[in-house]
Structure 1
Amino acid sequence: MNPRNVSYKLLITYLNMRLPTLKNPLGFHLLTLFLGISIFSRAQTNVLVLKKQLEVATSDTAQYQLYHALGTAYREVNIDSSLYFLGQALHIAQVRKDAARTAQSMYRLGHVYMYKLSDETQALEWLKKCVISAKQAKDNVLLARCYGIIGVIADHQNLPQEEWLLKALEYAKKTKDWQTIAAAYNVLTVVYTKKNKFAEAEQVAFEMMKLCEKNSKARWIWACLDYCKLLITRGKSQEAQSYLQKASMVGKSLMAKGGNSETIYPLIQLELQLAHYENAEKLVQQGMDIERAKPQPDSGTLLLMYKAQHQAYAGQRKFQQAYESQQVYINLALNNRNKEHKESSELQMTRLQAALDREKQTTEIMMLAEQKKQQQAFLLSTIVIVVLLVGFVFLLQRNKSRIELQKAELTMLNTTKDKLFAILSHDLRSPVAGLKNYLMLTDWGVLTQAEFANSTKNLTVQLNNVHTMLDNVLNWSFSQMRGIRPKRENVEVASIIEEEIELLLPMAQIKTIHIVNEISANVQIMVDRNHVAVIFRNLLQNALKFTHSGGKIRLSYSKEKDMHQFVIADTGVGMSEEQLQNLFQLNKTTSQMGTAREQGTGVGLVLVKELVEANQGTLSVTSELTKGTMFTLGFIS
């Protein structure tokens, strides 16, 4: 078999499989328009050969096969002719009472109305008729395809479609044909994803991936990419990364055995997904070299390669090469479109003359078809121009939105900078000045022994406060510059909490606040040890700060399914609704004096939230004025 035909069939099979589920139908129609350029040259040759064979065919079976083949070939050339020849094939099948061929013709008519004319009403009528004939013929392949398209139409009409798609999968499995089963899995996956049924979508996508792995490594890479997107959506990034790495190894193995278009192109998409833009660039160049070495390079494949090359260059910030690649892509598409117009005119003249010689009564029909084709060509040109204009306006609007977003980010950063300077100049100055005064009084010897002992306790508390303030500011600033990268491990939380309580005990004793720790010693969670220490230190210090003398702080633990929950509750002053809304925003004025006039920076709780989220945890808070505050931490097992 010609490798070029193998590549073409594989690509078209995959695109047809995904056609009903793409969210951007206009983008897909443009892609099929470009692919149609290479398909067109094949269809032109097939039409002329098939017409010559039809002129000498005598048996009903031969005529049916040629009419059906002409109807299929004309899908890429002229829709009216396609419908005419498929209608002739259906007539012969019905006269012969051949249920199998009747079902085939009805399915092909429904397919043309659905994907070429976008007439879902007519498509549904033909598909319903096809189901009846296909059941008589026990043709499970056609039944799977019909129910699949019916499910897509139901989805477009916002009607329940899951039942139809499950029927499609049921009949597909009876065929034992892996491509038919994969197509049914694919449509069901996309519908589940659209309905946010990610668990079901993940399961179906996994089954499709296993099926493709047994039959086609190249198709498996495509299925693996779709499956990994679902894993990432469900928060399983580590598992997705593992599959992507495996897919990369499979792709390299395929390339080692001899790369061709159907192995290189999915591998290119994989490398782009992994952001390995240099590898993608090399593979694109290799794919182009393979295609150009053919006697007749496939223009549709080259177009896809240039598009991928543009993405690879852009990902590496090679903007000059990206621009040049995009220009080649556009020029090649335009040149092929001009060639298509020229060949289309020649083909239509040949078709018209042949029709006049064979059937004089079809003259008027063919002339009307020619006029309609010219109108469609004009309409298509107009649509292309409008799309280009809309794209240009979209780019301008996107750039404007990007500039506005950057402006907002800069404003927020400037506000944050002002806040940090205010913290360093005001909130830290007061505690340091108090420490200085204590030291001066000590040096002058004006303090009594009792006063010196009492001041020592106060000094310890104030030093702890200053240390925590500086530690929080530095930790938060570091996280903003380089990001938080936790080193997660199994940690016994109770020992860390006891250490933090011991550290803050002088402050609790001064305010006579009772701290109750109900967390058992055998509780373990997967987190960064240092991060957990900072989290509990800040939450305990925050509770001490806003709890009156004689108050109580309680730490408790519970587990629900796979979620560990820690609660830090106090009997302090509580917070208003407005304070709760701005609690974790550094650019808002949230810091306030404690019950003993303790200073704060407002950075502590912001840092706590970032550390909790970096360790894949959750943080929630409930509070009421004069009735205390409760922070709840959640960590996955």
Structure 2
Amino acid sequence: MSNLILLISLIWATPPIQVESTTKIDSEVLLDTLISKGEKYLYAEWDSAFYYLSKADSLARLLEEDNKVGKVANLFGTLYYVEGDYVKSIKYYSTASEIFNKTQDESGLNFALNGRGLIYLSQNQLERAIDIFNRCIEISKKLGDTYGIGKNYFNRSIGESDLGQFGKAHQSIDLALEYLKDHQDRVIYTMTLNRAGKIYFDEGKLEESEKYYRQVLNYPGQLSNWAYTFAYSGLAEIEIAKGNPRKALEYAEISKDYVYKTRGFWDKGRLSKVLLAIYEELDQYALALEHAKLYKAYSDSLYNESKNAEISHLQLLLADADNQNLLQEKELAENSAQFNKKLTIILVIALIGLIIGFILYGRVIKQKEKINQVLLEKQKEIQIQNEKLEAINEEKNKLFSILSHDLKAPINSVKQLLELEENGLLDEDEQKTVRKLLIKQVSDTDEMLRKLLRWSHAQLDGIITKRTATDLSEIVKEQVGQLDYQTVSKNITIDFSSIFDQAQVLVDPQQLRIILQNCLQNSIKFSNSDSQIKLWNSVQEEDGFINLHIKDDGIGISEEKMKEISSQVVRVKSTEGTQKEKGTGLGLLLVRQFMEKNQGHLRIQSKPNEGTEIILSFESINTTKELIES
């Protein structure tokens, strides 16, 4: 340790040339120490990080350690990215890329590539950024670099969250935390916890968001200024959303103590936006205006910097190309000066031949470019057509699923009735009753099939939702009437006497039939024999939506199954009914999708052995005061 302190003292106190008096090994140890310190302070103290990285850069160049020079350049790129200076950031990442291309260091190239992804994020080119982070993840997996994998999943979650893809963002952030569990002593771990809190906040889940911010503040290790700033600003945002501006101000003031110890424009802008909202809530408009100006200044600065970064990067590429052309021209001039005068005629002939060749070659190239352009346009047309066909096929498959699913229950009913009669299990009176049920079931099924076929024919180019004024009570009665066999077989009554008469809602009628059919069949399926299913309406006074409640006294749904239903937008695994009725799990998925298409809402309330209540909310048409009061 004393040797290391002495080396650091020498490198800081003496001219660079005196480093040559130390051994190469000691110099490399010192270099690694400087790089490590610079990396440690990246997100904590900008000035300290800059100081250590500057010393490391000088020493690495003196020792001619190309890979270390490239690593320092990558860290400088990150440092300037944190500050919001995207011009310098991309320059350093470009320098690192050039070095690691020469040394064939995949790890260093991966870091620089990740930096490019961060710049794309800053320019709001989110899809391109996500593509780059996906490439970085594959490279890191190939290298076995768990830290790199976790860091890139973290970065990918930012792009997905900004695109509103919260499901994907949660998946990415969970994977990041999983890969970073062995790196909890590094700054990226608390950054990831903070980002998880931000994703939940953007999604409107305040309790989950606060849980992650608290986890950051209770972190047992040393927290960076950036981590404190992000967490306290996040808590302030949550309190604003809860309607507690004074509590939010307390958190914002704490965040302010930390944010000015960093040089992160994004964090300062975020805090200014939070304070703007707080002071508006507190009617302190002078302070609100002050922070509105600060927020705009920070936002404008980041925006201009990101645009300049892109332009500067293109200029660097163009300058490099110009240098290459000048070098080639110089080499040609030197070679031509060496030719003998005796070969002048040969050279002239050769030059004429070359000119002709270039002209011909240029024409061929132009023709080839035209052909390639035509082919490219055709390929794009074919791709668009293929995408349309795939979408249509997917919708047709859904139509077939709807038809098969909706026909399954009535066909099973008919089959069971015929089997009872075939096996001689019915007396004469029961046979008469069964025949009536059979005729009604077949008639109802025929009518349902006609409506489904007419509707399906109109949807052959893709399922289209046509919301029209529809009498909710009429379709409820129609669907209940088609379930006679299912209710009779379990001795279940359906009470819909409390349904509003002529309740007009804005919905696609056939899609409403499919929604009701699946909800009612599920209620019957999970109801005990000799029980009742009750239907009634209520009105949401805040928006005038009409609610249709479907309540059974059946076996209910477990808490674990409710979480599965609430969290998934795919088919849920079906559960057997009270009489071992089987299902496909498609019904609930259809209900959810068609409710969304009709701009309605679906809620499910259930407890085991206490029954289930399904609440369907539809946009009403001309909801009267008398209807609300009733």
TM-score band, normalised by the shorter chain? 0.3 to 0.5
Name the TM-score, length of structure 1 as normaliser.
Answer: 0.36
